Amino acid sequence: VIFRQLFDAETWTYTYLLGDPDGGGAVLIDPVLEQVDRDLQVLADLKLSLKEVLETHIHADHVTAASVLREKTGAKVSVSRHGAKEADRHLKDGDVVEAGAVRVKVLETPGHTADSLCFRLHDRVFTGDTMLLRRTGRSDFQNGDPGALYDSVTGKLFSLSEDTLVYPAHDYQGRMMSTIEEEKRLSTVVGKTREEFIAFMNAIDKPKPTRFDVAVPANLHLGKKS
Ligand SMILES: [Fe+2]
């Protein structure tokens, strides 16, 4: 499978491209509106045609390119069953999204937001903002729930095999990836009971993301400008 990690410097967002080298089908995970031209060029360069756009959740820090990419390529947009209503498909735990040889397995991992998903492909997992590197995403807006986040990370993600590669939606220190083994030793969930983690998360006092008031309303409609 063709794999590319793409970066948006304005919002520190990683977008992931997964492609079938034989059939030519491709999946984009978490594309950013401002990077549509770049992403279409990469697809063209690699002779791939976009079949599926996946969202790990309704983002609060950037506007998704999902609806623009759907218009331009005819790709289907798949999101959580708790995500944007206008998606082509609403995903639940255990679902599989396919583009030729690319088979992505869906994990429902609520906590960062109510609609948070992780996606598995072979030896790697795309963790959105559920699990970032050495810590989790925040859980203080969009129906975030620190207890659910603890369960998603320690129950679902930590049960993956330890050599699974971890690709998050962001890393603000320029680290690109990790493994389940590293996060099981070094994540902020480690060494805390569920109650301790809830208290730890509730004590974090962070401002809302800069683009929150633009990004969330747009992303509820897959990034369409109203
Ligand atoms: Fe997020």
Q: How far is the CA of 76 from the centre of ligand 1 (A)?
A: 22
Tell me which residues of the chain have a pLDDT lower than 50.
none
Give the environment of ion ligand 1: residues with CB less than 5 A.
129
Instruction: Read off the pLDDT of residues 6-37 as tens digits, 9 standing for 90 and up.
Output: 999 999 999 999 999 999 999 999 999 999 99
CA of 61 to the centre of ligand 1 (A): 7
CA of 144 to the centre of ligand 1 (A): 10
CA angle 120, 42, 6 (to 5 degrees): 50
Find the helix or strand (DSSP H, E) in which 221 lies.
Answer: none
pLDDT of amino acid 215:
97
Rounded to the nearest angstrom, the distance between the alpha carbon of 59 and the centre of ligand 1 is: 5
The whole-angstrom separation of Cα 150 and Cα 28 is 27
